[in-house]
């Protein structure tokens, strides 16, 4: 039986202002704990006892990186988290359309609307993730809004908690000040260590990170600067 | 006025002048005029990207404006041994005294008003949580500091207000719970390394108590007490307490959980916000479940409670008799709860101003209605419009074909 191909979504219906207050009480649907997450509603052929979600794109925007992850890592489950309703809906419609167009090729990517600052431990077990992406996060320029930044002193502990030892966190931006902020936070955290040049050159996704995201393409078109780094989750150096 | 309660004595600290009165349970009373170190002016919150709630707190006040304010104390905490007293003033100066000779041991300026202050087991460190949900550690013994350190270490941060903070019995873990239903178990002192999250509550988690080296009990606005194998974040049992306190329409949540072992039995006593009843449970170590033994009504809402030596002391909302003490005993394998009187409490209760200030302070602090989360969905509108758009498109398609 031929399935009907769904038209790709048109961005003009999904535009939404870039900033969201991540602290406020929003209406979110989230599992009380990771065991209760119904992943099979997101991924066709999801096997409860098989592969778990391992790659997470926090603030996935219009889903460019997710789509790339599907082709670079066809046997890994990737999830995009986006806080903006319409943008998340766009990605979900985009994935629907891609799945109908090329059956089987996009079954391992999905997008949910959630607040990564609050709910990561509700979705993921300790050490479940092996890659975590923060591409073009909201710079929240004003000093009073720095608390809304996705990279901050307290939140790094949560990222270290969901990442397995050896897992990698990637972050990129076109704002130098934000890059320095993010880089110094990871640098100071005992559970993260910067990737070496060798590790970066053997990494399959690192070099693709700017070209695959919509924000990255925008920066390229405008001829702007891009800053990118990757850190590895390491064992706790603390000993009693 | 600040009231600090310990196992041996109760301290009151008045503001103008700064006088500490120490009422020992042995009925001796001590009066000390506090020598205060000079005020260190506050840092501005928000500089570090800290989450600041908009309660209009005075982070924007200049030292000049603050100069005109009188110095008063807002918070006090005695250490377990009562050797040390930590007090915090309106200038966010946190001062630690040795209570023997009343010398200043250490003083720090903190970024935000503190909510919970605990001493570590050896009483060499303070753990302080503030209004923003951030927790800092303070080193009290200056000789153990390296030159470039000021004694302050960032430990961890929650994304919501922290409602309780407890150190495990072996001091290896720090448990913190918040308005966002979460209990976080961090390694201590390396708190950046999260050991686990205990997830299961569906409303704010109001209090915590470690029962032994493996188990933690939590109480929540969702109407349950839960028992956790805390290093695994595994829920072992959930107990619904609503029937035990005959909760009316009012919102009732656990105020404090006290665990003690009497004759090899683990006895857990729970007091509640907006309730005059405390409930005593037996903890069954085989099933890991709580079994109710008895509910006791002290007639007036309990505002604050603590235990020592199998005695429960409740401060209650009654001007004329604001302290109620009970002793727990096991007689013939049955738990007995006996009301006892401390002379010192009567002496305390005679000070009208003290009672009034204390009751008012606690009544305000114990307002919990705002902690409940209500869900609201304002996204339906978008999805309705989308549906409409798609339907019109379908109609157009059909028409054109």
Q: A138, A158, A183, A198: which one is catalytic?
A: A138
Encoded tokens for B350: 């005679």
Mean pLDDT of A64-90: 95
pLDDT digits (tens, 9 = 90+) for A123-139: 999 999 999 999 999 99
Strand partners, A112: A81
Name which residue leads in pLDDT, A240 or A235.
Answer: A235
Residue B56 has pLDDT above 60, yes or no: no
Q: How confident is the model at residue B119 (pLDDT cuts 50, 70, 90)?
A: very high
- A93 as an active site residue: the answer is no
Q: Give buried/exposed letters for A129-167 (b at 16+ CB in 10 A, else e).
A: bbbbbbbbbbbbeeeeebbbbbbbbbbbbbbbbbbeeeb
Residues of A in Cβ contact (< 8 Å) with B53: 23
Mean pLDDT of B328-334: 87
pLDDT digits (tens, 9 = 90+) for B15-25: 878 999 999 98
Q: How confident is the model at residue B396 (pLDDT cuts 50, 70, 90)?
A: confident
Name which residue leads in pLDDT, A14 or A84.
Answer: A84
For residue A147, the distance in angstroms to the closest alpha carbon of chain B comes to 4
- Which class is B163-373 in CATH? mainly beta
pLDDT digits (tens, 9 = 90+) for A7-65: 888 888 887 776 677 666 667 789 999 999 999 999 998 998 899 999 999 999 999 99
CA quadruple B141, B147, B151, B153: dihedral positive or negative?
Answer: negative
Interface-testing mutation among B45, B46, B51, with chain A (most A C-beta atoms within 10 A):
B51
User: Residue B53's pLDDT is what?
Assistant: 43
Mean pLDDT of B2-10: 88
Longest dimension (CA), chain B: 97
User: Residue A205's pLDDT is what?
Assistant: 96
Residue B390 has pLDDT above 90, yes or no: no
Cα–Cα dist A93/B228, whole Å? 41
Cα–Cα dist B252/B258, whole Å? 17
User: Residue B143's pLDDT is what?
Assistant: 66
User: Residue B219's pLDDT is what?
Assistant: 98
pLDDT digits (tens, 9 = 90+) for B165-185: 999 999 999 999 999 999 999
Whether A24 has its CB under 8 Å from any CB of chain B: the answer is no
Torsion angle defined by CA atoms of residues B137, B142, B146 and B148, in that order, rounded to the nearest 10 degrees: 80
User: Residue B209's pLDDT is what?
Assistant: 98
Element (H, E) at B390: helix B380-400
Mean pLDDT of A179-205: 96
Mean pLDDT of A74-96: 95
Residue B120 has pLDDT above 70, yes or no: yes
Q: Tell me if B117 sits within 8 A of B126, measured CB to CB.
A: yes
Mean pLDDT of A201-229: 91
Encoded tokens for A140: 């929240």
Domain boundaries, chain A: 51-233
| CB-CB neighbours of A48 under 10 Å | 8
Are residues B192 and A143, on separate chains, in Cβ contact within 8 Å?
Answer: no
Mean pLDDT of B377-397: 79
Longest dimension (CA), chain A: 64
For residue B189, the distance in angstroms to the closest alpha carbon of chain A comes to 9
User: Residue B59's pLDDT is what?
Assistant: 46
Encoded tokens for B167: 């150190």
How many Cβ pairs closer than 8 A exist between chain A and B? 88
Whether A76 has its CB under 8 Å from any CB of chain B: the answer is no
Average pLDDT, whole number, for chain B? Answer: 87
Residues of A in Cβ contact (< 8 Å) with B375: 27
Cα–Cα dist B369/B252, whole Å? 9
Are residues A156 and B187, on separate chains, in Cβ contact within 8 Å?
Answer: no
User: Residue B54's pLDDT is what?
Assistant: 40
Mean pLDDT of B373-389: 77
Name which residue leads in pLDDT, B380 or B109.
Answer: B109
For every residue of B251-318, DSSP letters joined together read ---EEEEEEEEETTEEEEEEEETT-SEEEEEEEETTTTEEEEEEEEE-SS-EEEEEEETTEEEEEES-
The fraction of chain A above a pLDDT of 90, given in percent, is 75
pLDDT digits (tens, 9 = 90+) for B81-102: 999 999 999 889 999 999 999 9
Q: Tell me if B152 sits within 8 A of B137, measured CB to CB.
A: yes
Of the listed ranges A142-156, B41-55, B258-272, B334-348, the least confidently predicted one is: B41-55
Q: Tell me if B46 sits within 8 A of B128, measured CB to CB.
A: no
Closest-approach residue (CA) in chain A for B172: A240
CB contact residues (below 8 A), chain B span 370-399, against chain A: 373, 375-379, 382-383, 386, 389
Mean pLDDT of B310-322: 91
- Which class is A51-233 in CATH? alpha beta
Are residues A191 and B382, on separate chains, in Cβ contact within 8 Å?
Answer: no
CB contact residues (below 8 A), chain B span 230-259, against chain A: 233
The fraction of chain A above a pLDDT of 70, given in percent, is 96
Are residues B159 and A122, on separate chains, in Cβ contact within 8 Å?
Answer: no
The fraction of chain B above a pLDDT of 90, given in percent, is 56
User: Residue A126's pLDDT is what?
Assistant: 98
Of the listed ranges A47-51, A111-115, B147-151, B189-193, the least confidently predicted one is: B147-151
User: Residue B148's pLDDT is what?
Assistant: 56
User: Residue B72's pLDDT is what?
Assistant: 87
Closest-approach residue (CA) in chain B for A151: B49
Homologous superfamily, domain B1-44+72-157:
YVTN repeat-like/Quinoprotein amine dehydrogenase (2.130.10.10)
Looking up tokens 């951030």 gives B134
Name which residue leads in pLDDT, A20 or B140.
Answer: B140
| CB-CB neighbours of B58 under 10 Å | 15
E strand intervals along B93-193: 93-98, 103-109, 114-119, 125-130, 134-139, 152-157, 162-167, 173-178, 183-187
Domain boundaries, chain B: 1-44+72-157, 163-373
pLDDT digits (tens, 9 = 90+) for B238-279: 999 998 987 665 689 999 999 998 888 899 999 999 999 999
Helix runs in chain A, H state only: 64-72, 85-101, 116-123, 153-162, 176-188, 197-201, 209-212, 214-222
User: Residue B377's pLDDT is what?
Assistant: 64
User: Residue B192's pLDDT is what?
Assistant: 97
Q: How confident is the model at residue B147 (pLDDT cuts 50, 70, 90)?
A: low
Q: How far is CA B180 from the centre of its chain?
A: 15
Name which residue leads in pLDDT, A108 or B48.
Answer: A108
Flag whether the ipTM exceeds 0.90.
yes
**SS3 (DSSP) at B29:** strand
Whether A101 has its CB under 8 Å from any CB of chain B: the answer is no
Q: How confident is the model at residue B354 (pLDDT cuts 50, 70, 90)?
A: confident
């Amino acid at each position: 039986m031929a399935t009907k191909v769904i038209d790709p979504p048109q961005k003009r219906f999904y535009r939404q202002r870039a900033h969201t207050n991540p602290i406020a009480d929003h209406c979110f649907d989230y599992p009380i704990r990771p065991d209760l997450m119904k992943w099979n509603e997101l991924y066709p052929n999801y096997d409860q006892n098989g592969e778990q979600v391992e790659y997470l794109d926090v603030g996935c925007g219009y889903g460019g990186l997710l789509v790339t992850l599907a082709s670079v890592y066809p046997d890994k489950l990737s999830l995009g988290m986006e806080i903006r309703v319409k943008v998340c809906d766009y990605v979900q419609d985009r994935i629907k359309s891609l799945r109908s167009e090329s059956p089987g090729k996009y079954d391992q990517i999905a997008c949910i609307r959630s607040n990564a600052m609050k709910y990561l431990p509700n979705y993921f077990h300790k050490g479940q993730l092996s890659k975590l992406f923060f591409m073009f996060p909201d710079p929240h320029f004003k000093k009073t809004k720095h608390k809304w930044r996705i990279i901050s002193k307290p939140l790094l502990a949560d990222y270290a908690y969901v990442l397995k030892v050896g897992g990698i966190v990637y972050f990129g931006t076109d704002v130098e000040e934000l890059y320095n902020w993010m880089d110094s936070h990871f640098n100071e955290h005992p559970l993260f260590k910067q990737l070496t040049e060798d590790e970066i050159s053997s990494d399959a996704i690192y070099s693709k990170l700017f070209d695959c995201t919509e924000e990255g393409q925008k920066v390229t078109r405008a001829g702007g600067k891009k800053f990118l780094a990757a850190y590895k989750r390491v064992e706790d150096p603390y000993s009693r | 006025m600040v009231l600090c309660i310990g196992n041996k004595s109760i301290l009151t600290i008045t503001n103008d002048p700064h006088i500490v009165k120490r009422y020992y349970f042995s009925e001796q009373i001590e009066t000390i005029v506090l020598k205060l170190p000079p005020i260190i002016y506050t840092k501005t919150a928000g500089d570090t990207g800290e989450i600041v709630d908009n309660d209009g707190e005075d982070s924007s006040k200049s030292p000049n404006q603050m100069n005109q304010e009188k110095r008063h104390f807002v918070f006090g905490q005695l250490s377990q041994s009562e050797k040390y007293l930590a007090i915090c003033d309106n200038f966010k100066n946190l001062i630690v005294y040795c209570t023997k000779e009343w010398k200043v041991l250490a003083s720090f300026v903190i970024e935000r008003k503190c909510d919970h202050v605990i001493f570590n087991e050896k009483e060499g460190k303070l753990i302080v949580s503030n209004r923003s949900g951030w927790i800092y550690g303070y080193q009290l013994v200056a000789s153990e500091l390296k030159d470039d350190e000021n004694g302050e270490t960032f430990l961890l941060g929650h994304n919501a207000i922290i409602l309780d903070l407890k150190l495990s019995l072996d001091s290896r873990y720090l448990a913190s719970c918040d308005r966002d239903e979460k209990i976080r178990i961090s390694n201590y002192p390396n708190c950046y390394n999260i050991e686990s999250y205990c997830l299961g509550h569906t409303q704010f988690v109001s209090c915590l108590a470690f029962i032994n080296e493996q188990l933690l009990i939590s109480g929540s606005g969702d109407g349950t007490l839960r028992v956790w194998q805390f290093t695994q974040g595994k829920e072992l049992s959930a107990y619904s307490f609503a029937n035990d306190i005959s909760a009316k329409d009012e919102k009732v949540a656990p105020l404090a959980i006290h665990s003690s072992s009497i004759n090899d039995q683990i006895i857990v006593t729970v007091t509640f916000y907006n309730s005059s009843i405390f409930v005593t449970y037996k903890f069954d170590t085989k099933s890991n479940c709580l079994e109710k033994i008895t509910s006791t009504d002290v007639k007036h809402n309990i505002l604050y409670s603590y235990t020592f030596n199998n005695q429960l002391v409740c401060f209650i909302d009654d001007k004329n008799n604001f302290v109620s003490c009970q002793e727990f005993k096991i007689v013939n394998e049955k738990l007995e709860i006996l009301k006892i009187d401390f002379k010192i409490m009567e002496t305390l209760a005679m000070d009208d101003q003290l009672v009034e200030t204390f009751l008012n302070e606690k009544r305000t602090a114990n307002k919990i209605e705002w902690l409940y989360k209500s869900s609201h969905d304002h996204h339906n509108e978008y999805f309705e419009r989308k549906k409409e758009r798609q339907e019109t498109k379908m109609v157009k398609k059909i028409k054109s074909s």
